[in-house]
Amino acid sequence: VGVGGGSTTALAGFVAATWLRGVRFVTIPTTVLGMVDAAVGGKTGINVDAGKNLVGDFHEPAGVLCDLQALETLPRHDLVAGLAEAVKCGLVKDPAILDLVLADPSGMTQWDSPRLREVIERAITVKAEVVSGDLRERIGTGVLGREVLNYGHTFGHAIEQVERYHWRHGAAISVGMVYVAELARVAGLLDDEGVALHRQVLGDLGLPTSYAGGRWDDLLSAMRRDKKTRGDLLRFVALRGIGHPELLEGPDPALLTAAYAEVSA
């Protein structure tokens, strides 16, 4: 049984997956990030110096128990950071999540808010539906399955690695989603309104939407080591409109740097 935040539940799952080649385990996430993302879905990974989640397995929990009262003592910064993953679910599959956030962004920081409860429930539903159809992130099937949950993660994971994991995961993914939205815009996939919506929803929650400039070489190197990369081919989940994800493979380097310029502080 793993009780705690996403790192704790992921570690419990990793141990359960490897001990005796797999034993049953249950997760009881006590953070928003754990509830909407880390504890649900069966990915059990740990970070190493070379990159994030590079060691792990797919091992579904026997059960997940979410008690929102556990969020009562969660620091506000951690609660807000966890909401980045919920916003991701809204951007790729359930835009109603975005409407709920925009209607009452301050209410999203109240653990007993009915809107927060609905956002969490909707995000869990999105992840559970995606994972039930594609547990192991199949590649090359022509269908964008579990990979859709990687939205914003290629650039976001690079930030985490460059910052030696001193950034909260949700904060890094927030910038990562704005980055890939800008990348989709310069690639002709997403319109200006779609990019603006990213910035508005995330900014209203108090999440970062930019990153300090001057680190491009480090970030690009980290992205090339990411587990979603195939050989030298960078792969991004991008949006062709809100709720319509698709795969963007091997974008022109000029587009990558143009998008970086748009998120550089």
Catalytic residue among 52, 88, 93, 153: 153
Catalytic residue among 150, 198, 199, 235: 150
Catalytic residue among 52, 169, 199, 235: 169
Whether residue 21 lies in the annotated active site: yes
Whether residue 153 lies in the annotated active site: yes
Contact 77, 35 (CB under 8 A): no
- Put residue 95 in one of left, alpha, beta given phi > 0 → left and psi -120 to 50 → alpha: alpha
Q: Name every residue whose Cβ is closer than 8 Å to that of residue 120 and which is 6 or more positions away in sequence.
A: 32, 35, 36, 66, 68, 86
Catalytic residue among 59, 88, 146, 235: 146
Whether residue 157 lies in the annotated active site: yes
Catalytic residue among 88, 93, 157, 198: 157
Q: Name every residue whose Cβ is closer than 8 Å to that of residue 33 and which is 6 or more positions away in sequence.
A: 5, 6, 78, 81, 82, 85, 169, 170
Whether residue 127 lies in the annotated active site: yes
Distances (CA, A) of 71 to 27, 30, 116, 213, 265: 15, 6, 11, 34, 32
Catalytic residue among 47, 115, 121, 137: 137
Catalytic residue among 52, 59, 85, 182: 85
Whether residue 150 lies in the annotated active site: yes
Whether residue 244 lies in the annotated active site: no
Catalytic residue among 127, 185, 198, 235: 127
Whether residue 169 lies in the annotated active site: yes
- Put residue 206 in one of left, alpha, beta given phi > 0 → left and psi -120 to 50 → alpha: left
| Residues acting as catalytic residues | 21, 43, 85, 127, 137, 146, 150, 153, 157, 169
